[in-house]
Amino acid sequence: MTLQRALIVGASHAGAQLAASLRQEGWVGEIVLIGEESALPYQRPPLSKSYLAGTSTLDELAIRSAEFYRKQGIRLLDATVTAIDRSAGHVVLNTGDALPYDKLALCTGARPRRLSTPGADLAGVYYLRTAADVESIREAARPGLRAVIVGGGYIGLETAASLRALGLEVTVLEATGRVLERVTAPEVSAFFDRIHREEGVNIRTGALVEALSGDGRVREVVLASGESIPTDLVIVGIGVEPNTELAAAAGLVVDNGIEINDHARTSAPDIVAAGDCASHVMARYGRRIRLESVPSAGEQAKVAAATICGKSKKIAALPWFWSDQYDLKLQIAGLNTGYDEVVLSGDPTRDRDFSCFYLHAGELIAADCIKRPRDFMFSKRVITQQLPVGRAELVLADSA
């Protein structure tokens, strides 16, 4: 009897978890995990933090050891999948070889959105998504040099904190009116703006990048206002785009990610997907959402593995996220879309710890908790169970 083969495309957080979960769910056939990097699957969130700051190694960031994959009979294949032939039941590799599958999982992740301004292709312009990206940045990031970060989202601010730790002069350029504008309340934006300025970061909001200039290597960032900011390196952090091209070419339905249902199944019954590349309708929010979150990638991967093994599990956990900047850990519970009120516990204008609770029609829907782990756990429980909570209780949450 020939063993069935499960192919996982993408050695991401989702891919690594899916491979492990397949064995836990009882898959006895082959498992092949295909990745485009020679390293073992590794954690990506620390790349802009401890890995860039030089306080952790790539071996330390490995999600699981080489011994784990060997013992579990999981084959790691360093290759690129160039096409999926659904009718033939195989994928095509960059070598030209065809690799048959019985079950296919797409965990292709996302890639950094590219800067489209003139000069964006100059040497000294970097993106931060892989370990190789960070190694290139580290080689260029010498103490005393000037760095400009384009984008005041989480990746930009985390990178700013790490570069300050390395002794660089750092300027953050944010096109909108405040950092983290798309994801947090004004009070949280103002807090991180204050913290970064106190740490020596020059934050510029309403700063539209018109061009990068230099003599083969970037030397200046030119703003729409006409101002030029001298720099030695530029790091672009303006969001990511899901890697959906393989799926779309194979005829799978794509809508801001590969469409999956609550069981992580795509529009093709023998193909599942998970992680940053996937989008699904979350009943809690009543809309299709693509989450860029390690916990969500892990949950989707576990559900996808169960689906492959003929079991019925559903994607249902509350989304949560985190960000590390300097000595601060921000933990986020839920999505704040549609909030109509915020309640603060602590003073974000003076303290280095506080929580911002987001309410809609009096119901707690999300929370940003900075150095307040108890508030974070409390918020996850309240939001998940839709428990009633009073505003006074929220103000005093950390002392409860």
Strand partners, 213: 220
Considering only the C-alpha atoms of the chain, give the largest distance between any 2 of them, rounded to a whole number of Å: 70
pLDDT in tens, 65-98: 999 999 999 999 999 999 999 999 999 999 999 9
- Fold agreement (5-111+240-308, 114-236): yes
Query: What mean pLDDT do residues 380-391 have?
Result: 93
pTM of the model as a whole: 0.94
* Domain coordinates in residue numbering, the chain: 5-111+240-308, 114-236, 327-399
Q: Which single residue is written with the structure tokens 């300025």?
A: 197
Q: What is the CATH number of domain 327-399?
A: 3.30.390.30
Which fold, 114-236?
A: FAD/NAD(P)-binding domain (3.50.50)
pLDDT in tens, 241-298: 999 999 999 999 999 999 999 999 999 999 999 999 999 999 888 899 999 999 999 9
Strand partners, 83: 92
pLDDT in tens, 110-128: 999 999 999 999 999 999 9
Cβ-proximal residues to 385 (8 Å cutoff; 6+ apart), any chain: none
What is the distance, to the nearest Å, from the Cα of residue 372 to the centroid of all Cα atoms in its chain? Answer: 22
What's the CA gap between 147 and 128, in Å, rounded? 14
Report the SS3 class of residue 284.
coil
pLDDT computed for residue 284 by the predictor: 85
Which fold, 5-111+240-308?
A: FAD/NAD(P)-binding domain (3.50.50)
pLDDT in tens, 27-41: 999 999 999 998 999
